[in-house]
Amino acid sequence: MNAPGDGRFEDLWTDFLEGELSEDHVEQLDRLLADDDTLRQRAASLYEEHRLLGLLHQPFDVETFVAESRRRIATDGDGFVRRVTGSLGPPLEEGRGRSSRRWVGYVVVSVTAVVLTLAIDWLTESVPSGGVESRIGERGLEDEETPRIAEPTAVATLDRCNDCKWRDATEQREGSRLEPGRLRLDSGTAVVRFDGGALALLTGPAELVVESDDSARLIAGDVTIHAPEEAIGFTLRTPGHEIIDLGTEFHVAVGEAGETAVEVLDGEIETRPRNGGEQRGRILERGRAVRLDPDGAVRDEAFAPATPRFHTRLAEMRSNGPSGRVVASESFEYPPGQHEHLNGGSGWRTPWRERRGTELVHSEHDDTSRMNVVRAPMVFAPFLGDNADGRSVRFPAGPNYRLRELAQPIDLGRDGVHFVSFLGYRDAGRAPNSVLRLTLRSSEDYWGDTVGLGFPRARRPHAHLGTFREAVPSAARFVRDVPLLWVVKITARAEGPDELAVRIYEPDETIHLLEPSLWTIELEGADSDAKLDVLVLTANGGLAQWFDELRVGTSWEAVTSHVRDTDERAP
């Protein structure tokens, strides 16, 4: 955890690195750096990490980057020092402050040169000839993995769970990551998403062994496999056979004696005996059904077209009741106009308020103490549908901070999965220091560990888990005057690092009923025990900005189903 002073420095320095520092904050940062040698060293270290993170998240041509970086290091060192130190504002007082600033600048350049040199060596030795995009894969930039503390062992996600009763003592939570191991479902319906792209809809009673990101073993019960094109090659093992996906959807049922019924609902599969006998693999197309015996024998069966498709089963799961629950919500459905204290919605301990006490920085205050409720801007219509005539909160240009305390905190010190969503929009136009951000903080330690996401000056969204020092940018960029739906998944662990995943939707994108396989940002943070019970909305800069439809919940559907009618088909 950080002390308040330390946390404030990191906030100011992060704003400086991302071009968000206001004139008042420039003076505050000047004073902090002038009075503390340790903070100056910390500033250089943070700058190093910031530059390296940016390097790792940018798509570029390796050879061009190497040549250009070496040229700039060799020829532009002094100019770079002037640009970095000059950004800190007016000159410090003569004497110690001025010399300290020059010292910081040269430390930054020297450290950055070392980092770039190491990065260049790593890139030229480890990146294939296809460049950085060769590491990303065929699915595009959003497949790029954020550097992690340790290699993850999980290979799948429990994406959906309706009325599930598990045989094991440990309850499986919706949204939980799954390591290789056995799932014993006594009753209910569950959807498992494998990291390789395949989806398995399991109906209890059933027993499934998750083996890897592209394979599983069905010991007993029913499962429907939906395997899109990127999941071709997914293998489901049954007693005596392997069923290999060739881009399809199929249903498998394993009986008590190990006999297996297979129906191909779409596309093709290949069946292979596991005993290596004389039986050769068979290709089965849509509309075929077979019975696979444990000894490797294959018998043709009559196809049962009444077997429901995957998306039909998914729709039935939804009609049986919403998945998860909404912990807190705020739709800003108040009478239009200026309000001192808004106290609607559900799941909150306090009304909306301004910052106070230790939450404040010196004497800084917002431009206005009121919240302005207006009709939702028409640009929200693609998300809100029939509710497009509802209300939103509009923050004017200038510094705006609004806080509200949750009745039920997000406890990072306990195992759990939490979801947060909101709509955000910046007014059309250009303002260099506009910031839109949602942050979750702790009332016990306001400047301690946090979860945050939003836009700094650039159109590249950032997110952090722990401290602002760990902020990670997305590889994706977004246009300025388009409303966006932000959905955040927080995986908290009592032991081990917590995780954060962010998916940002534009108005023309489909919001599926299941959480996505590709996220806009993914990152892993420190093992924190913070209890996040303060939600902060920040809108700074020269543009008006809107927020709407805040949700905190225990599942993906709980925080997305109210925004537009989600698509029930498999993503």
Please report which helix (H) or strand (E) contains residue 19, including its range.
none
Q: How far apart are CA 130 and CA 134, in angstroms?
A: 5
Q: Among 87, 108, 136, where does a domain finish?
A: 136
Are 356 and 456 within one domain?
yes
Report yes or no on 145 lying in a domain: no
User: For the chain, what percentages of helix, strand and coil (3-state, to nearest 5) are there?
Assistant: 25, 35, 40
Report yes or no on 337 lying in a domain: yes
Q: How many domains does the chain have?
A: 3
Are 172 and 295 within one domain?
yes
pLDDT at 363 exceeding the cut of 70: no
Q: Among 304, 319, 334, where does a domain finish?
A: 319
Query: What band does 84 get if pLDDT is binned at 50, 70 and 90?
Result: very low
Least confident of 8-12, 75-79, 149-153, 351-355: 75-79
Least confident of 162-176, 232-246, 249-263: 162-176
Report yes or no on 432 lying in a domain: yes
Burial annotation 297-326 (CB, 10 A radius, 16+ → b, else e)? ebeeeeeeeebebbbebbeebbeeeebbeb
Are 178 and 113 within one domain?
no
Report yes or no on 272 lying in a domain: yes
Q: How far apart are CA 521 and CA 543, in angstroms?
A: 25
pLDDT at 430: 64
Q: Taken in order 503, 507, 510, 511, is the CA torsion positive or negative?
A: positive
Higher pLDDT, 365 or 125: 365
CA distances from 442 to 20, 60, 417, 446 (A): 23, 39, 18, 5
Are 470 and 334 within one domain?
yes
Least confident of 209-218, 372-381, 471-480: 471-480
Residue range 401-411: mean pLDDT, rounded = 95
pLDDT at 115: 42
Q: Taken in order 371, 375, 380, 386, is the CA torsion positive or negative?
A: positive
Q: How far apart are CA 26 and CA 155, in angstroms?
A: 45
- CATH number of the domain that 269 lies in? 2.60.120.1440
HSE-up (13 A, CA, CB side) for residue 236: 35
Are 309 and 332 within one domain?
no
pLDDT at 47: 60
Are 411 and 555 within one domain?
yes
Q: How far apart are CA 15 and CA 468, in angstroms?
A: 9
Query: What band does 68 get if pLDDT is binned at 50, 70 and 90?
Result: very low
Higher pLDDT, 138 or 327: 327
410 and 554 in contact (C-beta within 8 Å)?
no
Report yes or no on 148 lying in a domain: no
Per DSSP, what are the bridge partners of residue 502?
A: 488, 521
Are 514 and 385 within one domain?
yes
Residue 315: strand, helix, or coil: helix
Are 237 and 290 within one domain?
yes
Query: What band does 79 get if pLDDT is binned at 50, 70 and 90?
Result: very low
Report yes or no on 147 lying in a domain: no
Residue 86: strand, helix, or coil: helix
Is the whole-model pTM more than 0.95? no
Report yes or no on 41 lying in a domain: yes
Are 315 and 457 within one domain?
no
Mean pLDDT of the chain: 76
Are 313 and 221 within one domain?
yes
Location of structure tokens 């920085």? 361
Give the residue numbers spanning the domain of 98.
Answer: 4-136
Are 14 and 125 within one domain?
yes
Q: How far apart are CA 231 and CA 248, in angstroms?
A: 9
Report yes or no on 283 lying in a domain: yes
Above pLDDT 90, what percent of the chain? 37
Q: Among 319, 335, 368, where does a domain finish?
A: 319
Least confident of 107-111, 417-421, 479-483: 107-111
HEC per residue, 517-539: CCCCEEEECCCCCCEEEEEEEEE
32 and 40 in contact (C-beta within 8 Å)?
no
| pLDDT tens, residue by residue, 121-147 | 433 333 333 333 322 233 233 333 333
pLDDT at 408 exceeding the cut of 90: yes
Residue range 289-301: mean pLDDT, rounded = 83
Are 332 and 186 within one domain?
no
241 and 292 in contact (C-beta within 8 Å)?
yes
Residue range 207-211: mean pLDDT, rounded = 95
